[in-house]
Amino acid sequence: MLASACPGWICYAEKTHGSFIIPYISTTKSPQQVMGSLVKGHFAEQQRLTPDQIYHVTVMPCYDKKLEASRPDFFSQEYQTRDVDCVITTGEVLKLLEQEGVSLSDVDPAPLDTINKDFQEVTLERDGVVLLQFALAYGFRNIQNLVQKLKRGKSPYHYVEVMACPSVPAV
């Protein structure tokens, strides 16, 4: 199974590998779209509103999340609304802050995640027996290598988190 949370990866998979790779991709919505469904569904119900009466905005690090939110799969014909109405990137938030005279250099920094490898493997074993194998494949070089393994029937993984962008090294 291949993760489906990265819209850049999904577009690449659909356009370049189509029917070969699509059966391996998880049908689970990305966290952005799951939250959109919850906000538009659950919160609307709790407030006695219809989903089209809620305007849902997300802040995401990736411009491709805008593309994801605009996909037809995430549009409700019944209510004529999207799960996510607007995506603002972290870069756009930074520009808005700068326009307001707020500098992030004045804010105390938080530690960055320590995961900075573009390819990682993890194996779950019990009593020396391999139960499951996982991998992280970030960046198109690793994605292409993964797809080639799949095509040759040489991929040992049960689940792979796939991201189009390479990971960002910790500073």
- For the chain, give every domain's residue range: 31-107
Report residue 90 as tokens: 């972290």
Positions of the chain with pLDDT lower than 50, given as ranges:
169-171
CATH number of the 31-107 domain: 3.40.50.1780
Question: What predicted TM-score, i.e. pTM, was given to this entire model?
Answer: 0.84
Q: What per-residue confidence (pLDDT) applies to 104?
A: 82
Name 160's Cβ contacts closer than 8 Å, sequence gap at least 6.
Answer: 1, 2, 3, 134, 135, 136, 137, 146
Give the distance from CA 34 to its chain's centroid. Answer: 11
pLDDT confidence of residue 116? 84
pLDDT tens profile 94-119 = 999 999 998 888 888 888 766 688 99
- Dump pLDDT digits (tens) for 51-75: 999 999 999 999 999 999 999 999 9
First to last CA, the chain: 32
